[in-house]
Structure 1
Amino acid sequence: MDGQAAFLLHQPATGHRVADLVVGESNRLRDVLLGLAENPALPTRLFARLIANGDEDVLFTLAHRDQLTLPQVRDLVAVGNPSLTGFMVRIGLVPWPEIPKEQPGRLLDAVLGGIAPAAVWRAVATDPNPEARREVAYADDAPADVITFLVRDLDLQVVASAAANPNLPPELLPHLARHPARSYGRPSPRTRTRHPLCSPPS
């Protein structure tokens, strides 16, 4: 551990001290903070101080840590960063009761993360945003009744994803054969603008 990291470890537990240091030596100190966030032996008392720093890379690095406690998950969600929260929901870090359902996109994240009740799949399948419906139609674990609903969608990309879904009921094939757009090939998932660290930890 270098001198800067040692200095941080022995500072009084105030987020303001960390924030002031970031302003003064942003580049070097940011590397130090990232190193601390990655450190498996990070003391619990420093976790909240790193969150208070607010640097997005630091926040995502903390979210990638193994064996996060529920209080730590809550602290990260409380930051209110939509990209961070969405990532955490999609990889199953946030239990269903803890998901901020009032935030746009969180129900879709919960569905794709496999932690939403079946009724939520149906709710997201009626989302007015066609991109949300496309993601549901593309999901391999989408319930058959949801796929049945989505093959009748007005958006052809939604229909194409639903038609190629492994849970498509076979009895719907005649309906699809009569569809005006019969050339179905499973489209690629929608390209999302993601944080560079927004991938499940290996």
Structure 2
Amino acid sequence: MSLPLLQIALDNLTIEDAINSVKKAAKYIDVIEVGTILLASEGKKAISEIKKHFPDKIIVADGKIADAGKVFAKMFFENGADYTTAICAAENATMADLVEYSKTFSDNKEIQVEMTTNFTWEQVEQWKKAGVPQVVWHRARDAQAAGVKWGKNDIETVAKLANLGFKVTVTGGVSVEDIKLFKDIPIYIFIAGRSIRDAENPELAAKEFKDEFKKYWK
């Protein structure tokens, strides 16, 4: 199994603060997420500014698109996003539109479906039929705050999604200690936000994730 990529989630409130967060750990970061909070605060300019400062990184616009798929995808992709997220509650027609539109670009734009516990496997089958390449298994921010831990259901769901052929991202308060829980699964990306951004030494914190990946994937 290939080494997972490390993604930093930028849920900062300003572009300047977000750029500074990446600079502190950029050496070990593969993917930069312009988080939903940052998008809401600063708009599409956040994507173009992050891309301008870090042109060699994969950029994800975490728009959690629910409707008007092509409108949002055009906005995000044309401002420098490589990937954009759609929320799992979106209609199948929206997912199909997003996949179709992503293929009109020559530089490998892709859609990620961000999943919550409120989904059905019938939906997953429809995403697969539509050609969705990526899914994100997300332990919600509010669930984390309420003390919800990673459990058997998370591991089994992630494994099933990977077995179906999706490139799977795992997010939701992921710590270095959590990585081993997914060691038998071909994870595409792990996302870390506050555990890197708020660390005393963000570069060291990011390096610890990459070192942990090397224990279980090659």
Higher helix share: 1
Q: Mark yes or no: TM-score above 0.5.
A: no
| Greater Rg over alpha carbons, structure | 1
* TM-score, with structure 2 as normaliser: 0.29
